[in-house]
Structure 1
Amino acid sequence: MGTDKIKLALIGLGQRGLRLYYAAIKQREDVEIVALCDNYETRLKEFAAMLEKEDGKKREIFTDYKECIDKSGCDCVIVSTAWNAHIEISMYAMERKIAVGCEVGGAYSLESLWELVRCYERTKTPIMMLENCCYGRLELLTLNLKRKGLLGEIVHLEGAYRHDLREEVTTGEEKHHYRLMQYLKRNCENYPTHELGPIAKIIDINCGNKFDTLYSVSSKSVGLEGFVKSKKIEKLKGEKFAQGDAVTTVIKCRNGETITLNLVTSLARYYSRSFLAEGTKGLVCEENQSVFLEQDFPGEYFDWRSHFGNIEEYYKKYDHKLWVGGVNEIGEHSDIDKMVIDEFFDAVKNGT
């Protein structure tokens, strides 16, 4: 694209779209938002007014994503809508040679994923899943340790999305948040890529390895109903939520590794992705923020508590190059949002 600015259409202006703008898009001097699109006209106009107040520029606004893609003259789109629209919007853009950065989630069947693959093979239009956790510092440290051979051969990995979303889910109607209907109607592992994305990289999925089999089991669903009752949320009184409070998935890989995933989003708890990687020579554990390497700790260890938090020592020695020198941290997980969005725009700009 040379020195021209990248013309972006931002489709989906809810919580995620707003976060991506402030964490990453706003800082890019080589990116120009030319169009905004959202189903909800009030949210759309508020977002447009916010941008105009910041830089004095008016943007084209659309409530129909097809019109947005066809008429805005954009070079690329970022799709941060509700999950169920991700695939159809992405494919519509790809058919028109518009590069796509797609937020995580959205496929409701294997066939829809094959449709996306066939769309790429037909159009050769690039699409990138914007999985920010692939850029997490701990996850990239693990990748670095694995590549240096310090963990030995990886045998087992674990990850989770453990995040108290009870308020987000139960205020879905007034905040136009898609999770409410998802949790009322579906019961599944609905958000696996935060943990599975980094894991796939570490064990070379689609680069000589593959996920072979999986099964998922769900617990009962009582967390959201209890929250509705305790908070006296009248509009949801008596509603039965299909989504189980805890979903456990076990995956077996072609090269013999096992993976355990957990989804826990409707119980009282702290946030964690519960990352764990175990190899023949050591492990990395998020929950106690520690690294165990056989070369540094030979012999048996029955009490590991004194080494909780030793991960900082390993960051100093083995930090991934993307984290060396620090990252422009803005708050919460905005650092990894910035990294993934920068990768997307750099790829669009360089044609890679």
Structure 2
Amino acid sequence: MKNNRRDFLKISSLAGLGLAGGSVMKGFASETEQSNPINSMYGHSTVQTFNMSGYAAPKIPIVRVGFIGLGQRGPSHLNAISKIEGTEIKALCDLRPASVEKAKKVIDGTSHNPTLYSGGPDEWKKLCDRKDIDLVYIATPWHLHVPMAVYAMNQGKHVTIEVPAAVSMQECWQLVETSERTRKHCMMLENCCYDFFELLTLNMSRQGYFGELIHTEGAYIHNLIDLNFNDKGYQNMWRLRENATRKGSLYPTHGLGPVCQALNINRGDKMDYLVSVSSNDFQMGARAKELAAKNDLYKEFANKDFRGNMNTTTIRTTKGKTIMIQHDVTSPRPYSRIHLLSGTKGTALKYPVPSISNSHEGWVKEAEFKALEEKYTPNIVKKVGELAKKVGGHGGMDFLMNWRLIDCLRNGLPLDQDVYDAASWSAVWPLSEWSVNNRSNSVDVPDFTRGSWQKNEPHDIDLKKGGDTKVKI
């Protein structure tokens, strides 16, 4: 009782300080950083050892690629890489032999003849150990991303990881520190940064069309309840397990990545702190109980505390801009990533219909929208956009992303997304989880760049360099 009272008084006094001068958690974090490192630099260097933002690794004229994870996302990347000249697909790996064999058929008839790895939990290490691989794609369940990426970088490989790149704050720091130490690129495969409206409005923002951006919004609103409860969907229903054991914004980066690029996050501004609130779960728990009554396979989920239907996370940047991110994968709502850019001179909104406004009187008419498209479409879309649509992959954005990655590696150019983006965008999940679990208190977003955000340059979307990588369809 004495200890409880002392802790209560400590928290109460800190709360008073918070009311006088900022968020409660800014004061409380220093008291608990060892048990709660989420809001501090505990255990990590406050000095950047090497700046990976803007880093140009040595040119790789022929990029030799290995793929780990060939379930939901891996085959799409495999298909894209097989159509980009200047690549060699050297190895394919998945725990399930059938998945490897099926993926191999995607590239039958091409010049690629990869070695196949499967059947054991450590087969992926054999792929990473090879000396004839430059780049490793990782498209496995979320909890495997960081262990695999860190191992691959330590073996001298550049890595690219499906979203989210990491599932905890410690993992975010692991990626950053390993990438800096090894000087190997670590890019998250945030394909939504390469969708056509997002690239258009990013270029418009950079050209000053919207004035100074003030507020942005993004989301992942996508009804996945049937897929998550389908035992033939995600292997061992791993994604359902994440929703049954974790809270907050589990999948923030599709909405967050594009607006962070528009705001120059990590390249002139940074996320400062966030607050997050979740609704109750109104569907997943009920579905689990209903299925458990009919099928023993679902009994382990019958009494789980599922994450709520809707999570809303609000972020404030150091320069006073705001970001709103939503996450809902269970409600019967139309798909949306929102993608709102709101500035002093204009606004863009993607869903339900791509729209642009430069006044309070409404959205521009179709003819003016087409004129803006003609004027502001960036060179990456002009050069590869139609080819990307033919290859496919979420309407072409998957291919644009993969082409751009290979083009940068072949030409020794900095990547559009670096390890600091992978870490900070992914960190919104565990940070939002902490906020939800602590009555939506604010929590600081660590500066993974350790100050270099102040001088880092925005990435190049206009192909001022590179752009010479050919495509074969």
> Which category of TM-score, normalised to the shorter sequence, fits these structures?
0.7 to 0.9
Deviation of 1:168 (Å): 1.7
Deviation by residue 1:1-54 (Cα, 9 ceiling, x = unmatched): 8896322110010110012223x1121232221111112233223333554576
| Residue number in structure 2 paired with 1:260 | 324
Query: Residues of 1 paired with 2:357 and 2:244: CA distance?
Result: 42
Query: Residues of 2 paired with 1:345 and 1:161: CA distance?
Result: 27
Deviation of 1:189 (Å): 0.6
1:286–1:334 CA distance, 2 compared to 1 (3 A): closer
1:266–1:43 CA distance, 2 compared to 1 (3 A): same
Written as runs of structure 1 = structure 2, the 5 A alignment for 1:1-352 is 5-22=62-79, 24-48=80-104, 51-52=107-108, 57=113, 59-62=115-118, 63=120, 64-71=123-130, 73-172=132-231, 175-176=234-235, 177-227=237-287, 229=290, 234=295, 235-236=297-298, 238=302, 240=304, 242-287=306-351, 288-294=353-359, 300-301=360-361, 304=362, 307=365, 311-324=369-382, 326-328=385-387, 329=389, 330-331=391-392, 333-352=394-413
Query: Residues of 1 paired with 2:280 and 2:366: CA distance?
Result: 33
| 8 A contact 1:100–1:126 mirrored in 2 | yes
- 123-132 or 170-179, which moves further after superposition? 170-179
SS at match of 1:327: helix
Deviation by residue 1:195-237 (Cα, 9 ceiling, x = unmatched): 1111111111112211000011111112234556499973436
- 59-68 or 242-251, which moves further after superposition? 59-68
- Bigger share in strand: 1
| 8 A contact 1:48–1:61 mirrored in 2 | no
Equivalent residue pairs, number: 344
1:311–1:232 CA distance, 2 compared to 1 (3 A): farther
| 8 A contact 1:218–1:248 mirrored in 2 | yes
| 8 A contact 1:35–1:72 mirrored in 2 | no
SS at match of 1:324: helix
Query: Residues of 1 paired with 2:114 and 2:91: CA distance?
Result: 9
Q: % of aligned pairs identical?
A: 32
- 30-39 or 9-18, which moves further after superposition? 30-39
1:319 maps to a residue whose letter is T
| 8 A contact 1:90–1:102 mirrored in 2 | yes
Query: Residues of 2 paired with 1:56 and 1:201: CA distance?
Result: 35
1:310–1:188 CA distance, 2 compared to 1 (3 A): farther
Query: Residues of 2 paired with 1:29 and 1:267: CA distance?
Result: 42
Gaps of 5+ in 2: 1-57, 414-473
Q: CA RMSD in A?
A: 2.7
Which is greater in Rg?
2
Structure scoring higher RCO (CA < 8 A, sep ≥ 6) equals 2
| 8 A contact 1:137–1:320 mirrored in 2 | no
Gaps of 5+ in 1: 295-299
Deviation by residue 1:309-352 (Cα, 9 ceiling, x = unmatched): 97444213322222236432144614111111112212222233
Deviation by residue 1:72-118 (Cα, 9 ceiling, x = unmatched): 73121111111111111111111121111111214222222122211
SS at match of 2:250: coil
2:374 maps to a residue whose letter is K
Query: Residues of 2 paired with 1:6 and 1:309: CA distance?
Result: 43
